[in-house]
Amino acid sequence: MMEKSSNEFAQRFQSLEENYKIIRNTIAEAAVQSGREPKDITLLAATKTVPVEVINHGIELGIDHIGENKVQELCEKYPSYALDHCELQFIGHLQTNKVKNLIGKVGMIQSVDSVKLAGEISRLSLSHNLTTDILIEVNIGKEENKSGVLPENLNDLIQQIAVLPSLRIRGLMAIPPADADEKETRGYFTNMHQYFVDIMGKKIDNVNMEFLSMGMSSDYSQAILSGANMVRVGSALFGSRVYK
């Protein structure tokens, strides 16, 4: 059983190494096409359902940002992550009653979409004498069953959150509708970049538009061409997810 397990990990390690090279090259090409340098784009490895052994091998290869979608999974893996040269972020939907499990563990929470959630992050960060970085999640496709602030409410939400202590707004995050075609997806990305630029121009205190996090395994190159500087790549990197 142990030998089989070792062989399985060896196969996953080899696949990860090959995928990582491809993704880095694709990011570099898209960065240059968009008038930037490869170093300007942050690759965040989306590690949902990925074993810690595989994640840590990716970190050895050079992955320096990882993101989990589920609080329970993050907490279970947390003692085993090799985080000396890697930042852990939370990228999934977050309930206020689970914020306490993330403060002090993650470098950034990407999915803040309400004053209530931001307030709890602020309260707990303050109580721990920490400052937590956040991104504001935008429901760019205005989907009823998806989290994120509606675009028309984005500016008001940012103004309300920006005054809260012990947190910093460092950019925006979005996930276009899964059923959008390539042209529609590009339109969503372009709109997000415009919101990003517009907010940056307002020069709001405690708001630094440093990260535009959009683009996943199927569309990260397109996202970079539209202005993203952080992409969240999971299955293209680690292979199809295996749910237990």
DSSP collapsed to 3 states, 82-94: CCCCCEEEECCCC
Place of tokens 């707004």: 169
Q: Within a domain: residue 155? A: yes
Query: Which domain range does residue 229 map to?
Result: 2-238
196 in Cβ contact with 227 (< 8 Å) = yes
CATH of the domain at 178: 3.20.20.10
Crossing angle of helices 154-162 and 182-202, in 10° steps, is 40
The residues, ordered by sequence, that sit 6+ positions from 102 with a Cβ below 8 Å of its Cβ are 71, 74, 90, 94, 109
185 lies in some domain: yes
**pTM given for the model:** 0.94
**pLDDT tens column, 35-66:** 999 999 999 999 999 999 999 999 999 999 99
Q: Is 10 within a domain?
A: yes
Nearest to 81 by CA among 93, 64, 69, 103: 64
225 within a domain of the structure (yes/no): yes
The model's pLDDT over 58-94, given as tens digits with 9 standing for 90+, comes to 999 999 999 999 999 999 999 999 999 999 999 999 9
- Whether 95 is in a domain gets the answer yes
Residue 243 lies in a domain: no
Q: How many domains does the chain have?
A: 1
Looking at residue 242, what is its pLDDT? 67
Note whether 170 and 200 are within 8 A (CB). Answer: no
Is 149 domain-assigned? yes
Q: What is the pLDDT of residue 244?
A: 55
Kindly state the DSSP code that residue 240 receives in the 8-state scheme: S
**Tokens describing residue 192:** 């997000």
Burial of 107 (0-12, 13-18, 19+ CB in 10 A): middle
Q: For residue 244, is it within any domain?
A: no
Q: Along the 244 residues of the chain, how does pLDDT read in single tens digits?
A: 344 467 778 999 999 999 999 999 999 999 999 999 999 999 999 999 999 999 999 999 999 999 999 999 999 999 999 999 999 999 999 999 999 999 999 999 999 999 999 999 999 999 999 999 999 999 999 999 999 999 999 999 999 999 999 999 999 999 999 999 999 999 999 999 999 999 999 999 999 999 999 999 999 999 999 999 999 999 999 998 766 5
User: Which amino acid belongs to residue 52?
Assistant: V
